[in-house]
Structure 1
Amino acid sequence: MKFEGTDDYVATRDLTVAVNAAVTLERPLLVKGEPGTGKTELARQVASALNLRIIEWNIKSTTRAHQGLYEYDAVSRLRDSQLGDEKVHDVANYIRPGKLWQAFTADSKVVLLIDEIDKADIEFPNDLLQELDRMEFHVYETGETIRAAHRPIVIITSNNEKELPDAFLRRCFFHYIRFPDMETMKKIVEVHHPGIKDALLTTALTQFYEIRDQQGLKKRPSTSEVLDWLKLLLAEDLTADDLRRDGADALPRLHGALLKNEQDVHLFERLAFMARRQR
């Protein structure tokens, strides 16, 4: 069971090595990187390449670790008891399996994506240590133990919004997705926009990397944003000549796809103003 990338996802060699190492070690793969660098999509492509079903657990700031195991619906049970419903005598009727439960009891091996784990409370990763390590957990209301019939491939993503506990990190295989260089980005673009003219692509990516490297930028544009920008350029049928700027025009065409806050727009407007004054 080896992951080598897919036709729809350009995976660098170090990334494929990381995925396969985590699969071999049967440890969760913790993937970090800038937002928009394809961390979530990686899990989906691993599932597609290995012909496995994917179960996605999207973490929010209010998500609790126990929700991944199961939830006990006490309110519904109380309501049914007041109505005299017979099913109230079986507590199992009020247990709602979470994403880990679904992954553990699946008929075959699955990919379990725990997406953006750093959004949750700092204790969230520690609360899952035993379950991810032993691949089992106890349901106190029913007295049963849920064990993984087929150990899932666990992929955990983080945008580095907060540090993760050392005890959690020790149980993971770690990989940081570096931002693609120009040549890798061209391969990624070719997957999404096949046949794009080389002159347009080179000019656009040159501008894109110049923007990313600009000092003082609050939010650097990501891979997903450059793909959106190129889609707009193609829709407007723009050429490489249309994109070329002089010093007095620091903002790129259709810059709203790349610059996502007013501070960064104002930064490039100030650069253009300074360039005009120096003429």
Structure 2
Amino acid sequence: MAKRSANDSKTIVFLHPDLGIGGAERLVVDAAVGLQKRGHKIVIFTSHCDPGHCFDEARDGTLDVRVRGNTVVPPSILGRFSILCAILRQLHLILQIYFTSELRDLRPDAYFVDQLSAGLPLLQYLHPQGRIFFYCHFPDLLLAQGRQKWWKRVYRIPFDFWEQWSMSFADAIAVNSNFTKGVVSRTWPALVRQRELCIVYPCVDTKTKEKKPDEKPLWNGMKFVLSINRFERKKDIALAIKAFAGLSKQKRAGVRLAVAGGGAS
């Protein structure tokens, strides 16, 4: 596809909490690279990016990745208050790039923000000219664990409210599947009445690896059930195992279950 002319080129700033290795990070990197190949100027701001634990494009110079907002608030306090720390780190990042004139020098036409919407009101206030695109992977309030404890439910009230309210400051909101669209619609019906949700599926690299002459296909025609996730509770990897076990003996014959992943990033 031909690149856009200089007149059509836009400056797009990405804001992502932690540019490690995961599905959300893969989507962000793919979106950034794709837009960059179309002739746009792309800058990714993040509160954390470990060169030893990130995708190649984030460390080999393909993308302009800048770590900001990581000098005041830690990712968590004694392993707790991670959502509070994440919000404060995002606000710190936005304020830092604003007051150090990085935003003014870049003059972004648009922002791509995902995972955390808390800073959208501040971003709109500081730079109302920039259009905001928010990508919702899944409502954070449904991922929070330990809600059976009353103090945890009370603690989460302001954050759950802030998540819905802050998302309303986006000019456009996208979700990663029709399933997530249904979950978001049921979780925040008032938000969906104000904003139409569009579905943007994560990219898939369709380039096939060059096969050696004597190399057999990995599955060699075998049917399989595949689950690729981080090995952590909220991914519910047990669901794939239960689904496989729920197949009848006839349907399970000749089918392989493969569970792949890694530790939490």
TM range, smaller chain: 0.3 to 0.5
- TM-score, normalised on structure 2? 0.38
Q: Name the one with the larger strand percent.
A: 2
Using CA pairs below 8 Å that are at least 6 residues apart, which structure has the higher relative contact order?
A: 1
Q: Name the one with the larger helix percent.
A: 1
